[in-house]
Amino acid sequence: MSSRPSTLFGAVAVGDACLVKKMSPDERLCDAVERELTWDALLDETHVDVEVADGVVTLAGTVASQAEKLVAQRAAERVDGVHDLVNAIGVRPSTDRRLSDDELQRIVEQVLVWDALVPEKSLEVSVIDGLVALTGSCVAKAQADEAERAVSHLYGVRGVLNRIVVASPVPSPTEIRSAIETALSRRAEHEAASLDVIVDGAVVTLRGTISSGLARRAVVGAVGHAPGIVEVRDELVVNGGDQRRIG
C-alpha cells in the first residue's frame, strides 16, 4: 500500500495539509480507503493494494483467508465517495495451518448443521483445493446467501461457489414486484423506494441511483428475501458511478 500520513486519526501537519489539497478526487478517495483499511482491527492491511479510477475502487494483493478478503471489501464500501468496487484480492492460506480438502469439507458440513438459518439437510458440500462448492436446494435465496456467508468465514476457504437452487413456487411477477416495493419502502435507505424493480420470471433486476455501496448491498440483500426469487441482478448506480458489480 502507499505511504500514509504519520498520524492515525488524520490530523496532518500544515505542510501535509497543503499536499492533501492538491490531491485529485481519486487520490483522496484512495487515501481514505487505505485509512479505513488501516483502521479495521480485523484486517492486516499491509497485504492489500488499493487503486482508484473515476471513483471505482479496485482491491488487490493476497490475504490468508476468504474472511479477510470480505472484511477488506466491507471496509472499502464504508468510505464515502466509492461509486463501485472490484475485489481482486487473492486468498492464499498460511502453509502452517493448511487443511486437507477432506478436513475442510467436514468442518464446512458441521458449520452448516449448526447454522439455524440454513436447511443443511438439503445441501451438499464438495471441496477442491480449498474452493468450496455448495449444491442442493432451499426455499429462499436468502438461505442460500446465508449458507455462503457462514462458509466464507472459515479458515482454509479460498472461495465459495454457490450453486444452491431456490426450489419454491414462483408467485406472479405482479405479486413479486409488489412485495419487493413494499419491503423497500420500509428500508432505512429511503431512496430504495424510488428504484426500478423489473421482474422476469424468478429473476429480479434492480435499476436506479443509490447513495452508497453499503446501501446498495442492503437493498440487494433485502430483495433476496422475496419468495420465489432465484437471482437478483444488480444494475444500481452509486452516485454517478458505473454499473460494475462488486466482485
* Per-residue pLDDT tens over the stretch 113-163: 999 888 888 899 999 999 999 999 988 888 999 999 999 989 899 999 999
pLDDT for the residue numbered 16: 44
Return the top range by mean pLDDT from 9-18, 67-76, 179-188: 67-76
Query: How many Cβ atoms sit within 10 Å of the Cβ of residue 24?
Result: 9
Q: How far is CA 97 from CA 130, 155, 229, in A?
A: 12, 9, 39
- Between 21 and 12, the more confident residue is 21
pLDDT for the residue numbered 167: 83
b vs e for 100-127, b when ≥16 Cβ sit within 10 Å of the residue's Cβ? Answer: eeeebbebbeebbeebeebbbeebebeb
Residue holding cell 458505473?
Answer: 242
pLDDT for the residue numbered 179: 78
**48 within 8 A of 60, measured Cβ to Cβ:** yes
Instruction: Quote the mean pLDDT of the chain.
Output: 82
**222 within 8 A of 234, measured Cβ to Cβ:** no
Return the top range by mean pLDDT from 90-99, 102-111, 226-235: 102-111
Task: Give Cα 185 to chain centroid, integer Å.
Answer: 23
pTM: 0.65
Which own/partner contact pairs does 141-145 have at CB distance under 8 Å and 24+ positions apart? Answer: 141/166, 141/224, 141/225, 141/226, 141/229, 141/230, 141/231, 141/232, 142/221, 142/224, 142/225, 143/117, 143/118, 143/119, 145/221, 145/224
pLDDT for the residue numbered 240: 54
pLDDT in tens, 185-220: 776 667 777 788 888 888 889 998 888 877 888 888
Confidence band (pLDDT; 50, 70, 90) for 243?
Answer: very low
